[in-house]
Amino acid sequence: TRRLTERRDTVLGASYRLFYRNPVHLVRGEGQYLWDASGRKYLDAYNNVASLGHCHPAVTAAVTAQMQQLNTHTRYLHENILNYTDDLLSTMPAELNKAMYMCTGSEANDLAIRVAKAYSGGEGIIATTEAYHGTSELTSGISPALGTGQPLAPTARLVEAPDAYRLGSTAGADGSELGTWFANRIRAAIADMEAHGIRFAGFIADSIFSSDGVLPGPAGYLREAAEVIHRAGGIIIADEVQPGFGRTGDAFWGFQRHGIVPDVVTLGKPMGNGIPVSGLVAKADVLAAFSDTIPYFNTFGGNPVSMAAAQAVLSTIRAEGLQEHSRVVGGSLLDALRGLGDTHESVGDVRGAGLFIGFELVKDRTTREPHRELALAVLEQLRERGVLTSVAGPHGNVLKLRPPLAFQPGDIDWLVGALDDSLTALYA
Ligand code: PMP
């Protein structure tokens, strides 16, 4: 590993960050498991890209077959893109009836921002205070998660994400009060834009607020904010790069948990189970403002091989019942993780939807003071116990547990046992 680390340092741009003090050198993956170069097996508790499971045979077969046949671009006719689009749109509310394809989540969000601007005639975008939406100039300008070195767009405004655990006493534990609290934040951000001569274009959020600390509930809390946004002439962009494709268990898309219909939905990560494919789905009239006047061509986006991969993903989610699986196994995992609170005082809050869970560590349960150092130490301990994951949230104290949907009930013991042992070891 040292030699590989040194080679990286020599030839790769310094912006890349490795996970772990003792980096992991992976050479193989299957289902929810990974193996390193020494043959050691790991439980992947973090990767929603390989959502069906690493190297899923259905995707490998579909990609191989199409690659042997033809791969070209969207300026020629091909059935794959049309068949896939029919299938994809059937998972969405009827108003969301136009699709476009790219290769990364960043490109999808970049286009979504351009669509918001074209439709509204404005330029102000509201995002959350820990959001990450991508690598391009437009998306990094609304991605405070990149840190203070990355300037925010002057037209951007940030709102705190609705954190039921931390705002419980001020916002009320019940969804409607949290919803009102959040809607008021949006209202204030729009007013601030107007005061600075910036016309509001839209609001973008990951509908489970993953980088804001994994904030799934209470379901429905986005409804009031959605009304405020629409009344002010802006659009709602649901960034489904993380919660999408059945992961939250109770719905196929994260926004559906909140009972809202966004104007634009962006898709990525799990869409191709590892093949770079992303998409944007929009209401026809919203998209028209952009697409009637500006051409869009993405060399690799929507190509027959990408579409074959994406089709295999959708078909496999259905064939293997992965949304329901995520709901059931995610529920059992959530219960088992909550049980750790009985023996470990540092467990502050455990929340989730399906196989998307936030495990929040605190110094004191009464004050709820975040315990960032502990979370980082737990990550390293978990790594030594063969469990791979990472942290999220403004205080970096929330373990983000988001395994491939191939995660099985039998894996709960490994994950929860490793967490239990890690917490015990750190307090011994
Ligand atoms: N949106 C969200 C919510 C993401 O998590 C990410 C990637 N971490 C992106 C957008 C950007 O996707 P990509 O890395 O594929 O460009």
- Is the Cβ atom of 143 under 6 angstroms away from ligand 1? no
C-alpha 203 chain-centroid distance: 16
Q: Are residues 195 and 287 in the same domain?
A: yes
- Is the Cβ atom of 135 under 6 angstroms away from ligand 1? yes
Kindly report the number of other CB atoms within 10 A of residue 21's CB atom.
9
This prediction has a pTM of 0.97
User: Closest ligand 1 atom to the C-alpha of 106?
Assistant: 16
Q: Are residues 16 and 62 in the same domain?
A: no
- Is the Cβ atom of 132 under 6 angstroms away from ligand 1? yes
What's the pLDDT score for residue 170? Answer: 63
Structural domain span for residue 29: 2-52+321-427
- The CATH number of whichever domain residue 11 belongs to comes to 3.90.1150.10
Is-contact 297 74, C-beta < 8 A? yes
The token pair at 271 is 């869409």
Question: How far, in Å, is the centroid of ligand 1 from the Cα of 48?
Answer: 11
Q: Are residues 191 and 269 in the same domain?
A: yes
- The CATH number of whichever domain residue 121 belongs to comes to 3.40.640.10
> How many Å apart are CA 270 and CA 244, to the nearest integer?
8
Q: Are residues 136 and 197 in the same domain?
A: yes
- Is the Cβ atom of 130 under 6 angstroms away from ligand 1? no
**3-class SS letters over 28-48:** EEEECEEEECCCCEEEECCCC
Last residue of a domain, one of 293, 319, 345: 319
The token pair at 292 is 């009637």
User: Closest ligand 1 atom to the C-alpha of 278?
Assistant: 15
> How many Å apart are CA 306 and CA 74, to the nearest integer?
11
Last residue of a domain, one of 302, 319, 336: 319
Q: Are residues 295 and 226 in the same domain?
A: yes
Last residue of a domain, one of 259, 294, 319: 319
Q: What percent of the chain has pLDDT over 70?
A: 98
Q: Are residues 97 and 244 in the same domain?
A: yes
Overall number of domains in the chain: 2
> Which of 102, 111, 125, 133 maximizes ligand 1 atoms within 8 Å of its Cβ, making it the mutation to test the pocket?
133
What's the pLDDT score for residue 218? Answer: 87
The token pair at 88 is 């994809």
Query: Residue 168: pLDDT band by 50, 70, 90 thresholds?
Result: confident
Task: Using the Cα atoms of residue 254, residue 356, residue 372 and residue 26 in order, give the sign of their dihedral.
Answer: negative
> How many Å apart are CA 281 and CA 89, to the nearest integer?
8
What's the pLDDT score for residue 1? Answer: 86
First and final C-alpha spacing in the chain: 30
Q: For residue 173, is pLDDT > 70?
A: no
Q: Are residues 66 and 171 in the same domain?
A: yes
Contacts of 382 (CB under 8 A, 6+ apart): 45, 388, 389, 418, 419, 422
User: What number is the average pLDDT over the span 323-337?
Assistant: 98
The token pair at 86 is 């029919």
Instruction: Work out the mean pLDDT of the chain and round it to a whole number.
Output: 96
Question: How far, in Å, is the centroid of ligand 1 from the Cα of 188?
Answer: 27
Question: How far, in Å, is the centroid of ligand 1 from the Cα of 111?
Answer: 13
What's the pLDDT score for residue 296? Answer: 97
Question: How far, in Å, is the centroid of ligand 1 from the Cα of 426?
Answer: 32
Written as one letter, the residue type at 328 is: V
Q: For residue 44, is pLDDT > 90?
A: yes
Question: How far, in Å, is the centroid of ligand 1 from the Cα of 51?
Answer: 15
User: What number is the average pLDDT over the span 161-184?
Assistant: 81
Contacts of 343 (CB under 8 A, 6+ apart): 420
Q: For residue 311, is pLDDT > 80?
A: yes
Q: Are residues 18 and 111 in the same domain?
A: no
Residue nearest to atom 1 of ligand 1 (CA): 133
H/E element, 113: helix 105-120
Q: Are residues 238 and 259 in the same domain?
A: yes
Q: Are residues 153 and 21 in the same domain?
A: no
Is-contact 98 105, C-beta < 8 A? no
Q: Are residues 298 and 357 in the same domain?
A: no
User: What number is the average pLDDT over the span 79-107?
Assistant: 98
Q: Are residues 163 and 203 in the same domain?
A: yes
Is-contact 43 419, C-beta < 8 A? no
H/E element, 414: helix 412-427
User: What number is the average pLDDT over the span 98-125?
Assistant: 98
Contacts of 112 (CB under 8 A, 6+ apart): 204, 237, 239, 264, 266, 280
Mark 413-423 as b/e (b = at least 16 C-beta within 10 Å): ebbbebbbebb
> Which of 269, 278, 300, 356 maximizes ligand 1 atoms within 8 Å of its Cβ, making it the mutation to test the pocket?
269
Q: For residue 73, is pLDDT > 60?
A: yes
Distances, alpha carbon 167 to alpha carbons 24, 164, 171, 217, 254, in Å: 37, 5, 5, 12, 21
Q: For residue 12, is pLDDT > 90?
A: yes
User: Closest ligand 1 atom to the C-alpha of 268?
Assistant: 15
Residue nearest to atom 14 of ligand 1 (CA): 105
Written as one letter, the residue type at 125 is: I
